[in-house]
Structure 1
Amino acid sequence: MTSVRPPHPPSRDGAIARAAAHFASGAFLKDLDRRVALRTESQITERDRELRGYLTDEMVPTLAALGFASSIVDNPVAGRGPFLIAERREGDNLPTALIYGHGDVVRGHEGQWRDGLSPWTITVDGERWYGRGTADNKGQHSINIAALAQVMAERGGSLGFNAKILIEMGEEAGSPGLRKIAEIHREALAADVLIASDGPRLSAERPTIFLGSRGALNIDLSVALRVGAHHSGNWGGLLANPGTILANAIASLVDRRGCILLDALRPKEIPTAVKQALADVKVGGGPNDPQIDRDWGEPGLTPEERVFGWNTLEVLAFETGNPSAPVNAVPPSAKATLQLRFVVGTDPVAALEAIRAHFARNDFAQVEVSASRNEVFAATRLDPTDPWVGWALASLAKTSGKKPALLPNLGGSIPNDVFAEVLGLPTIWVPHSYPACSQHAPDEHLLGPVAEEGLRIMAGLFWDLGEADRMIVKPPQETRRR
């Protein structure tokens, strides 16, 4: 980027105005359309060339224009997508922000989108920008990179802080290799704070910050009693039914209203700071959101506390016999997959052992328990009282004129544990999507007004990080992830 001083004194308002103009000009849409066209489906093994090309052909030149030196790092997990690590250094006495995003997407599902829509071309229909990756995550990290460019243009070629960027190409496949990359390149990724964007806002209208995510553990349960099925008229009542056994085993873990019964799978409490933050947010109520079942889940908690502050145990799949063509026979086996979404304080390894011990105590020894092959995401949560949180909330409020929503953690799961635990960073996530964006499904879309506001609030946030008189206290690391 050419270092040219603007004709007016550099200002925060000037950087934000540049971000708005960048959006209005169509330049942001043009950049995003080019990135969406790259078929970076990490769940398809034959996409290595596209995954690598997104970094070499798109990210490297884009970041080079902003003065970043980039390197492409091979994934330590064979057959998985590479990583990009980029750095722009402006001074040893300046703070350093690590900015994260992922350039891979889920399968495009061609032919399943609305008539006239392609996953690989952005179609603008009113406020909606349709295309695979517009919301998850190409649109989100494109907003952040564009905001950096507007701040640099306003400051005459300077950010006012050091910046590092990490782009991975395997998040939609469970982020294989990300933790190892962080361990190997710990020094190259060292920073004072993580500023990243993924997932949805609380609602389209309200800027949101979240500080971590719930963990996720998928659990496979199986009961295999014999080889082959036997006629239910001749053998029913004489042979143990694995479907019945498995159904009752699951019912001993979670009741008919979704309340977890096994204490080892439940949090001890919701911290006061988390309760206070959740008192100011409201989940659901959007035009495309499902109706919340008020009597489902842990009694005595608000809906917001149940999804952001508590553990849930969901039955994802259950199969015995042949559900699509039942026959009159006692099936030989049954299997199910459960998912434990858990907050900070729950140990997923201990949870598995607790389920095994519970089944052994309660005459369900026939039920085999194992972790599924899905990646286990740990639960993380930056303390809501951390000074970085107050700083970020104030910045978003100043830019948007709205009170931002603060979520102590996302209800879903992202690899935030790599940044919080391996790199030891306070983690600030500013999402630019919304709950009804259809991510992972046909008709995925980004909302134009949310993208425009996202550009402005990130320009304001990055401007504030580069202010010479900023005072952001860095508390001891051990206090950050309560």
Structure 2
Amino acid sequence: MDQKLRDYFIHNRERQLAELTEYLSIPSISAIPAYKEDMKKAADWTANMMRQIGWEKAEVYSGKGHPIVYGEWMKAPGMPTVLVYGHYDVQPVDPLELWETPPFEASIRDGKLYARGSSDDKGQVFMHLKAVEAILQTHGHLPVNIKFLIEGEEEIGSPTLPAFVEENKQLLAADVLVISDTTLLERGKPAIVYGLRGMTGIQIDVKGAAGDLHSGLYGGAVQNPIHAIVEILASMRAKNGSITVDGFYDKVRELSAEERAEFASLGQSEDAMASQLGVPELFGEEGFTALERIWARPTLEVNGIYGGFQGEGLKTVIPSEAHAKITCRLVPDQDPQEIADLLESHVKKAAPKGVTVKVTQFDKGAPFLTPFDHPAIQLAGKAYEEVYGVPTAYIRGGGSIPVVASFAEILNTPIVMMGFGLSDENFHAPNEHFNLENFDKGLEVIARYLFKLDGNL
């Protein structure tokens, strides 16, 4: 990368961070209807930034869900076209009292930018915008054609985006799709993700008596919904970490010996992971390392359980209802709908007498896996290596980006997942933050990558 670009990033850093602070101040929480206007505001902000940078086209599409932003710069005839995908929506901020500073008032402490969305995913979307800006300002044109597709529903499973992509295949046609919504292997060690787990989830609602009952008057004569839901949940996983839902593992694609060896060669310490997480020891399905369980094995997790009296002291009631939320991370070749149906069937069979049980399915996304020897992926690895000075790791990701599998199926385009976050940056949790060393290096990596793609696809 030439000195003009480096100088541009250095001289404009404070302005860019101020702009990012403004972006992060918009509480674009897609899961909560009360934030609908903020979602529109964030979409408009994204499109306006594209126009300010010099996009030929920047539009906000309003449909059944939250707005989708599309922009393009197509003035490099004969050169490859890069489609960049990201999302402007963020997770809810609860519990608010655990935030050291307000979640939508960005602050910098110890070289880290704290705010909801700083790492997942506004900060990383913003980096792509600013890398393009820098090239246009220093060179007057881009080495490739570029399109941006930034949605507002990723944190709720991208329910409307696949239909938009299907309806706009020609508009979104590209030679490579780039996504920055993943992490480095660890600090200073870049990684390209070639596989993601899918996801499915359910909510369990257990109903007992018509209302809360006095435990002295009725205790011992009726089923307690909290006891019932605990019994149901306990029936879904064995003490050794394996999942006991019939058929759950039937279609799981096993890890190859080569992949297991590659994962082991990364030298990740399980003791260090346990220490970082603040737990006495790691736990999971027997027969697999922690990395194998995170990247290539399916899971079943209780994400929330609630019911009955929650205040201080005692209230001697038998609650009339109890609830739990469960999500499963899935691996190739598990089908999200099939797994959701298996979960629902298991819950209904496991329900004890004396209560009625309702299961609601939600949040489905297919797993994704791709060969990582494609030139578009290898060139991204080289761009990382030139900036970070160490070899790029090619890894799977434990998380889910539901729309990635849809992109692969609909657009038939190679997908490069090159993220700049770190796994300890508290995305989805209080005090989310983004290490600014990766903001600075990431801008350079993205710019280098765009120049490497010039004529190489």
Q: Give the TM-score category using the shorter length.
A: 0.7 to 0.9
Q: Is the 8 A contact 1:214 1:410 kept in 2?
A: yes
Q: What residue in structure 2 maps to residue 144 of structure 1?
A: 128
Residue in 1 that maps onto 2:417: 429
Determine whether 1:189 maps to 2:172. Answer: yes
CA distance in 1, matches of 2:60, 2:116: 24
Shift of 1:240: 4.7
1:130 aligns with 2:117: no
Q: SS where residue 375 of structure 1 aligns?
A: strand
Distance 1:242 1:440, change over 3 A: closer
State the Cα distance separating 1:299 from its structure 2 match.
0.8
Give the TM-score of the pair, scaled to structure 2.
Answer: 0.85
Give yes or no for the alignment of 1:258 onto 2:241. yes
Paired residue secondary structure (1:265): coil
Aligned-partner Cα distance in 2 for 1:360–1:265: 16
Q: CA deviation at 1:166?
A: 0.8
Post-superposition CA distance 1:134-179 (Å, at most 9, x none)? 222221111112122333445x323222211011233334434212
How does 1:402-413 map onto structure 2 within 5 Å?
Answer: 402-413=390-401
Of 284-293 and 270-279, more deviation after overlay is shown by: 284-293
Q: 2:103–2:114: 8 Å Cα contact kept in structure 1?
A: yes
Cα distance in structure 2, aligned partners of 1:151 and 1:453: 15
Give the alignment's Cα RMSD to 1 decimal: 3.3
- Residue 295 (structure 2) pairs with residue 308 (structure 1): yes
Asked whether the equivalents of residues 200 and 339 of structure 2 are also in contact (C-alpha less than 8 Å), the reply is: no
CA distance in 2, matches of 1:342, 1:15: 45
Q: 5+ unaligned residues in a row in structure 1: which ranges?
A: 1-11, 473-482
- AA in 2 matched with 1:457: V
Structure 2: how far apart are the matches of 1:124 and 1:30? 11
Deviation at 1:187, TM superposition (A): 1.3
In structure 1, the residue corresponding to 2:277 is in which secondary structure? coil
**Whole-angstrom distance in 2 between the partners of 1:362 and 1:61:** 53
Report if the CA contact (8 A) 2:117-2:123 is conserved: yes
Alignment-derived partner of residue 87 in structure 1? 72
1:97 equivalent to 2:88? Answer no
What does the per-residue CA deviation read over 1:43-98, in whole Å, with 9 as the maximum and x for residues that have no partner? 44354444334343553343453343122211223xxx311111111345322111
Q: Deviations over 1:98-143 (max 9, x none)?
A: 101222334467974766x444443222311223332222211111
Q: Which residue of 1 aligns with 2:148?
A: 165
Match for residue 445 of structure 1? 433
Partner of 1:4: none
**1:270 and 2:259 equivalent?**
no
Matched, 1:209 2:192: yes
The match for 2:18 among 2, 20, 30 is: 30
Question: TM-score, with normalisation over the residues of structure 1?
Answer: 0.81
SS of the counterpart of 1:408? strand
- Structure 2 residue aligned with 1:298: 285
* Change in 2 beyond 3 A, CA 1:206/1:367: farther
2:326 aligned with 1:343? no
Q: Distance in 1 between matches of 2:83 and 2:356?
A: 45
Q: 1:62 aligns with which of 50, 58, 67?
A: 50
Taking the aligned partners of 1:58 and 1:359, their CA distance within structure 2 comes to: 43
Alpha-carbon separation, structure 2, partners of 1:39 and 1:351 = 33
Is residue 359 of structure 2 the alignment partner of residue 370 of structure 1? yes
What is aligned with 1:21? 10
**What one-letter code is carried by the residue in structure 1 that aligns with 2:17?**
L
Quick one: distance in 2 between partners of 1:111 and 1:329?
29
Residue identity in the other structure for 1:381: L
Aligned residue for 1:370, secondary structure, equals: strand
SS in 2 for 1:87: strand
- Aligned pair count reads 451
Q: Secondary structure of 2:247's match?
A: helix
Q: In 2, are the aligned partners of 1:204 and 1:435 still within 8 Å (CA)?
A: no
Cα distance 1:124–1:322, how it changes in 2: closer, same or farther (>3 A)? Answer: closer
- Mapped contact 1:113–1:119 kept (Cα < 8 A): no
CA spacing shift, 1:261–1:385, aligned 2, 3 Å? farther
1:4-44: CA deviations, max 9, x gaps? xxxxxxxx344662464256x42321321232233434344
1:477 aligns with none
Deviations 1:342-391 (A, max 9, x none): 1121112212332344467778687746344x432222122334443333
Q: Structure 1 residues 186 and 437 mapped into 2: Cα distance closer, same or farther (>3 Å)?
A: same
Shift of 1:302: 0.6
8 A Cα contact 1:84 1:167, kept in partner:
yes
Output one character per residue of 1:290-347: Cα deviation in whole Å (capped at 9) or x when no partner.
1466562111111001011101111223345445566556655543222211112111
Tell me how far 1:263 sits from its aligned partner: 5.2
Larger mean Cα displacement after TM superposition, 268-277 or 131-140: 268-277
Once the two structures are superposed, the pairs formed by residues 283-294 of structure 1 within 5 Å of their partners are 285=272, 289-291=276-278, 294=281
- In the alignment, the residues of structure 2 paired with residue 174 and residue 261 of structure 1 have an alpha-carbon distance, to the nearest angstrom, of 26
Q: How has the CA–CA distance of structure 1 residues 30 and 238 changed in structure 2, closer, same or farther, with 3 Å as cutoff? A: closer
Cα distance in 2, alignment partners of residues 165 and 256 from structure 1: 46
Residue 381 of structure 1 pairs with residue 369 of structure 2:
yes
Q: Distance in 1 between matches of 2:337 and 2:96?
A: 41
In 2, the alpha carbon distance for the partners of 1:51 and 1:337 equals 25
Query: Matched residues in 2 for 1:322 and 1:436: separation?
Result: 34
- What code does the residue aligned with 2:126 have? S
